[in-house]
Structure formats: structure tokens, C-alpha cells
Amino acid sequence: MADLQHDAEASAPASADDRVEDFAEFLDQLEDEREDEISSNETGQEPGENEQDQAAEPGDPAIAPPISWDSDAKDLFEQLPPDLQTKVAEREAQRERALQSATMAAAEAKRNAMAEANAAFAEQQRLYAAHLEQIAANYSPQRPDPALLAEDPQAFYQLQAIYESEASQHHALTQRAQQAQAEANQRDIINHHHALAQDHAALGAQLGEDWTGGRVARCG
């Protein structure tokens, strides 16, 4: 009996007030859908699409690992958090700069040491050349008198053989003195070019790349 009463109440026609309220809700729903459609047309996106795009946008650009690292180290670097990547990259850059500076200083020290060695060798060669030249000047062989050939041919040929040997030794001393002097001059030229290169580098460091670039362009 109660069920029949409930079914009767449910199937009973709605009152006028209820129908007005339902219609008002229907209009509100249509208005909400229209506003969503207008917003979507203005932005060119479906509702909720903007939030998805913002979530899909990438963050800050990834920090590149140090170039000198191998592939395994780069893979480990990419697994670090961004803040640690920044610190590691900065520290590695400092290390690279320090290494480059130490390498340049070592190379410069090596060039300076070589320049000093060249200067010492050049001075030694000059002294050696002067010594040989002095010996050659004091040791001047003399040809035997041709008149001795008529008087004592055997003695003449003996003196001639001695002369030729001494002349050969004298020529060798002269040649060696000239070679030593040439070696000294060559070392002086090398040191001169080294000094010019140092002056060029120092001037370039003071005036900047504009001077060195213009210099190279003019030389080219």
C-alpha cells in the first residue's frame, strides 16, 4: 500500500513552482556552456587546455656538461639536480681556467728557459769561434821553397807533404770557426723572434683583440 502511494506521488505532475525552478536551472546551464564556448574561441584552446600547456612547458634550459668530460661522466652529470649541475659546472670551469693558466705559465717558463739556453750556447759558440780563429791565425803553414826542388827533391817533397797536411788542418779550423759563429748567430735570431713574440703578446693583452685582429688582417 505504501509502495503504491509512493509511486503515485512520483508520477504526479510537478507544480508550477517546480517547473519554473527547473527551467531556470536549465537556462543557467546553457549560459555557462555559452561562456565556456566564447572563452574557448577567444583563446583558441579548449577548456582546460591552457592548464595542460602550462604543465607541459619546459623549465629552464638544461645546463650543458663540461665539454672535456667523457660520455659516462656526462650521463652522471645529467642525472644531478639543476642546482648541483650549476655548482659542478662552475667548479669545473674554474678548474679548466686554472689548468689553462698553469699550462700557459709552464709553456712560457719553458720558452724562457730555452731562450736562456740559446743565449748561453750562442755565447759559448762565439768564444769557441774566436779561439779557433786565433789558433788559425797563429798557425799559418808555409809552402816550401820551389828552389829546394832542384837542390834536394826528396826534402822538397817531404816539406810539401807537411805543408799540405798543415794547410788541411788550417782550413778545417777556419771552417769550424765559421760554423760555430753561424750557430751562435742562429741562436741569436731565435731569441730575437722569441722576444718579439713576447712583446706582441704583451701589447695585445693591453690593447685587446681589436689590435691583434687588425694586425693579423694587415699581415694577411
Residues 6+ apart with CB under 8 A from 142: 163
Q: CA-based Rg of the chain, rounded to a whole angstrom?
A: 50
Euclidean distance between CA atoms 143 and 128, whole angstroms: 28
Could you say which DSSP state residue 61 is in?
P
Task: Decide: pTM greater than 0.75.
Answer: no
* Nearest residue to 186 via CA among 110, 118, 138, 135: 118
Tens place of pLDDT per residue across the chain (220 aa):
444 444 444 444 445 455 546 555 655 665 666 666 655 555 554 444 444 444 434 445 578 888 888 888 888 888 888 888 888 888 888 888 888 888 888 888 888 888 889 899 899 999 999 998 888 888 788 889 888 888 888 988 999 899 899 888 888 889 999 999 999 999 889 888 888 887 777 777 777 655 555 554 454 4
